[in-house]
């Protein structure tokens, strides 16, 4: 079935670039055997670029074409990352993992279009591996669609940490912004580092579909959900662990929240994304508690923070021109809420960094905007990175794996990723790479 699916797509040009400085390989067609079935004219619509020390993986076309290219380009990375994650989560080995994977499959709802993409990722990985799916060496079996579905369910298995803020002035209205149209949003992604290979494998995955918006996510090879993402209109989506009561009951099927966030970015126009996000997140069932921070470059209010937990969908209160989000529900922004000690401390550390800049930019971190000063982009950029460093983590079980600062109205972002040599260096302590939207989302 996998081989036949690949064959139906027919002939498309192969664009495979290993590094931005390399020339395009030119038209090339692959004849391969997938799962023992001869397949001709298999296409790979994707390439890998290197910007600074960041790998940017671009795929485009239909869901099938993007999935196949993803697997073909990154199949070896996918099995290494998944192997290490599985063995940390299931120290009992491959048999324990398979048993739990089968149980999980009955609890998880993977949308049909995502399943199609996962099938093609496995097919692409097989095509790049002589026609056989690459091995999960530690787990002890070849990569399967069931393994890929397990991978997409990470946010149902354990919660993501994270800290960040969004600050803005004016309503935007285009790709410029100007002195009265500033907007900045930040994000630390805090999670278990698992292994050196998992830390170093992080990529920027740019999926440019035939329909919908192009989306860039900071992620691992093989993971198509969006815990950190931005689309071609500057809409951003960030997941944060929340502090609502978790569910011990499994009476409903869970839709991974990161897959819901992916859909928001794919479908969300800047002008109506909040309405669309609310509609999509109503269907995102989870046993955990998450906040999904959605940022739009257009409109008077640049951000809304949706709460998704076993009790349903709600929102955190956003007042003023600065919204800080860590890992607790906030109904009193001026006080930082009443969550656990660590999350409140991070909230207040960020508030301390940004409060002075907010006032000088004519805004207010806790009330109505005011003042006559202009938006100071340089000051906000400095405050963004200082605050991310203030609240970063560098522990064996909780590390800031990547840090992101996005300027949606300026159409650019800055990204840093953790590194693990002898010890772990958290992301905001590492070098910062700037990526323009035109480079991420331009012509393929």
For the chain, the domains span 2-49+61-152, 159-441
Backbone phi, psi, residue 38, to 5°: -70, 130
72 three-state secondary structure = helix
User: What is the Cα–Cα distance from 333 to 322, expressed in whole angstroms?
Assistant: 9
CA 238 – CA 293 distance, rounded (Å): 5
Bridge partners (DSSP) listed for residue 371: none
Q: What is the mean pLDDT of the chain?
A: 85
The domain defined by 159-441 carries CATH number 3.30.750.24: no
Retrieve residue 260's tokens: 């819901």
The pLDDT value recorded for residue 359 is 79
pLDDT digits (tens, 9 = 90+) for 86-122: 999 999 999 999 999 999 998 999 999 999 999 999 9
Dump strand ranges (E) for 202-346: 203-209, 215-219, 228-231, 236-241, 290-295, 303-309, 312-315, 322-325
The Cα–Cα gap between 289 and 309 comes to: 4
The residue that leads in pLDDT, 337 or 381, is: 381
**Residue 42's pLDDT band (boundaries 50, 70, 90)?**
low
Separation of alpha carbons 63 and 113, rounded Å? 7
Radius of gyration of the chain (CA): 21
User: Which residues are CB-contacts of 39 (< 8 A; sequence separation ≥ 6)?
Assistant: 3, 4, 6, 7, 31, 32, 33, 127
Q: Grade residue 320 by pLDDT with cuts at 50, 70 and 90.
A: confident
402 contacts: CB under 8 Å, gap ≥ 6 = 188, 189, 202, 218, 228, 415, 416, 417, 418, 427
Q: Please state whether beta strands 303-309 and 312-315 pair in parallel, antiparallel, or not at all (unpaired).
A: antiparallel
At 193 the pLDDT is 94
Q: Which CATH number fits domain 2-49+61-152: 1.10.150, 1.10.439, 1.10.3470, 1.10.1670?
A: 1.10.439
Coil, strand or helix at 438: helix
Token pair listed for 48: 């890998």
Asked if the model's pLDDT at residue 148 lies above 80, the reply is: yes
The span from the CA of 353 to the CA of 357, in Å, is: 8
**Residues of the chain with pLDDT > 90: what percent?**
69
Per DSSP, the three-state class of 54 is strand
Highest mean pLDDT, choosing among 138-147, 180-189, 280-289, 365-374:
138-147
Query: Alpha helices, DSSP H only, in 62-152?
Result: 63-89, 94-105, 112-127, 145-152
Residues 398-429 pLDDT 10s: 899 999 999 999 999 999 999 998 889 999 99
Beta strands in 259-411 (DSSP E): 290-295, 303-309, 312-315, 322-325, 399-407
Assess whether pLDDT exceeds 60 at residue 12.
no
Place of tokens 């063995």: 87
So what's the pLDDT on residue 138? 95
Residue 333's pLDDT band (cuts 50, 70, 90): low
Please report which confidence band the pLDDT of residue 394 belongs to, taking 50, 70 and 90 as the band edges: confident
What's the distance, CA 427 to chain centroid?
Answer: 15
pLDDT-derived band at 30 (thresholds 50, 70, 90) equals very low
- pLDDT in the model for residue 160: 72
Q: Which pair of structure tokens corresponds to residue 384?
A: 């963004």
Residue 82 CB partners (closer than 8 Å, separation 6+):
136, 139, 143, 147, 151, 222
- Quick one: pLDDT at residue 228? 98
pLDDT in tens, 361-386: 665 554 334 434 578 999 999 999 99
In this structure, the chain runs to a length of 444
**4 and 38 Cβ atoms separated by less than 8 Å:** no
């Amino acid at each position: 079935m996998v081989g036949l699916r690949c064959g139906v797509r027919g002939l498309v040009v192969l664009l495979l670039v290993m590094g931005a400085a390399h020339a395009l390989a030119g038209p090339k067609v692959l004849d391969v055997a997938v799962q023992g079935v001869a397949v001709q004219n298999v296409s790979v619509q994707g390439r890998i670029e290197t910007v600074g020390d960041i790998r940017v993986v671009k795929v485009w076309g239909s869901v099938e074409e993007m999935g196949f290219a993803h697997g073909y380009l990154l199949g070896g990375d996918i099995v290494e990352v998944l192997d290490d994650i599985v063995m940390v989560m299931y120290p009992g080995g491959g048999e324990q993992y398979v048993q739990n994977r089968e149980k999980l499959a009955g609890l998880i709802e993977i949308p049909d279009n995502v399943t199609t993409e996962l099938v093609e990722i496995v097919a692409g990985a097989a095509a790049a591996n002589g026609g056989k799916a690459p091995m999960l060496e530690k787990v002890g079996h070849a990569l399967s669609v069931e393994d890929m579905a397990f991978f997409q369910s990470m946010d149902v298995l354990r919660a993501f940490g994270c800290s960040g803020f969004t600050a803005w002035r004016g309503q935007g209205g285009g790709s410029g912004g100007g002195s009265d149209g500033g907007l900045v949003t930040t994000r630390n992604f805090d999670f278990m580092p698992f292994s050196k290979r998992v830390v170093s494998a992080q990529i920027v995955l740019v999926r440019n579909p035939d329909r919908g918006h192009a989306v860039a996510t900071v992620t691992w090879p093989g993971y198509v959900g969006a815990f950190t993402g931005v689309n071609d209109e500057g809409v951003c989506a960030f997941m944060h662990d929340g502090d609502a009561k978790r569910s011990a009951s499994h009476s409903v099927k869970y839709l991974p929240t990161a897959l819901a966030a992916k859909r928001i970015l794919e479908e969300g126009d800047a002008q109506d994304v909040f309405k669309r996000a609310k509609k999509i997140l109503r269907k995102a069932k989870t046993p955990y508690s998450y906040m999904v921070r959605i940022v739009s470059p257009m409109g008077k209010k640049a951000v809304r923070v949706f709460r998704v937990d076993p009790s349903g969908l709600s929102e955190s209160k956003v007042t003023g021109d600065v919204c800080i989000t860590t890992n607790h529900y906030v109904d009193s922004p001026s006080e930082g809420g009443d969550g656990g000690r660590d999350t409140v401390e991070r909230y207040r550390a960020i508030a301390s960094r940004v409060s002075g800049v907010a006032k000088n930019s004519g805004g207010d971190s806790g009330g109505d905007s005011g003042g006559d000063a202009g938006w100071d982009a340089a000051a906000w950029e400095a405050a963004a990175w200082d605050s991310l460093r203030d609240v970063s983590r560098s522990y064996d079980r909780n590390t800031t794996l990547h840090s992101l600062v996005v300027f949606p109205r300026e159409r650019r972002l800055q990204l840093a990723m953790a590194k693990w040599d002898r010890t772990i260096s958290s992301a905001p302590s590492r070098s910062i790479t700037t990526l323009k939207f035109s480079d991420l989302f331009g012509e393929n």
